[in-house]
A = this chain, B = another copy of it.
């Protein structure tokens, strides 16, 4: 923490701040500047809160200088975390594709899609049974019936299931079917859900909130790790900006920053990131060469009839072509490591 004093702060005010710092068991360091005094604080474990000092007389501003996250930080754990999903590794340098429909809608829909996914050589299947929806009048998922269908898919196709948990109350039943429990963007700061998911001992896919800074995403992941769940995969899925031609603004640079600042694997979700079917393949390709550990895409037998996210879902044909391209780019990437 660095405390910046007002230009006109008196000697007495400066000393009072230093004395307050000492009383907190920390060490103050005066740094005289051309227009103001700054006071550096040392001796703290972890980050200090500006609130402790901002109200003292003569204080102009408090600038935090330590990062507030620890366990997720690559400074603390330099080697990359590899998450093992029943033998499928995410974060080991290979490319993990996760594909499937937005929502589980029917046995026919989910089985046809699973077949298309398996045929493309992909082992991770996404599909929502519980759907958080902006409107109370929208389709909210097949719920338990959806979980049963996912379980069937899991057994029949030997796919790993990535599915969203909507709340703490249904976490256990979701965790029973899922190989990866997904926490959606709107729940990124649902701390109760994070606490419950932190007590699981299985992979969690944590999506960035739609207006979450990367620091907030890291802190949300810190909830999971601090409770002992280290099998965490982060996911960039677009942020909210002023632009309205896309559903969200897909912040691909987040992938690069997540890899640099944390040791956790990161997945890109261009389907939600852009929200337009024809824009998904170029952004998925981009994610691979930018270094994403995986890409998640929505696929549907008939996007025009999807009960949710039809506008951003790929047909089987488009998906198959994309899967091939992504593999080629992943091979290129491996060759250039």
Contact = CB atoms under 8 A, between A and B. Distances in A.
Interface of A: 2, 4, 6-8, 29, 31-36, 38, 40, 42-47, 49-56, 63, 65-66, 68-69, 75, 132-138, 166-169, 186-187, 189-193, 210-211, 213-216, 219, 222-223, 226-227, 239-246, 249-253, 255-257, 260, 273-274, 277-279, 282-283, 285-291, 303-306, 308-311, 325, 328-329, 332, 336
Contacts of A325: 336
B68 A135 contact: yes
Nearest to A32: B42
Q: How many copies of this chain?
A: 4
A301 to B, nearest CB: 12
A304 B56 contact: yes
Contact of A310 (B54, B277, B310): B54
A51 B219 contact: no
Contacts of A287: 286
Contacts of A227: 136
B186 A311 contact: no
B38 A43 contact: no
Given A38-B65, A311-B50, A134 B189 contact: yes
Contacts of A46: 34, 137
Contacts of A193: 167
A305 B53 CA distance: 9
Contact of A44 (B34, B251, B255): B34
A211 B191 contact: no
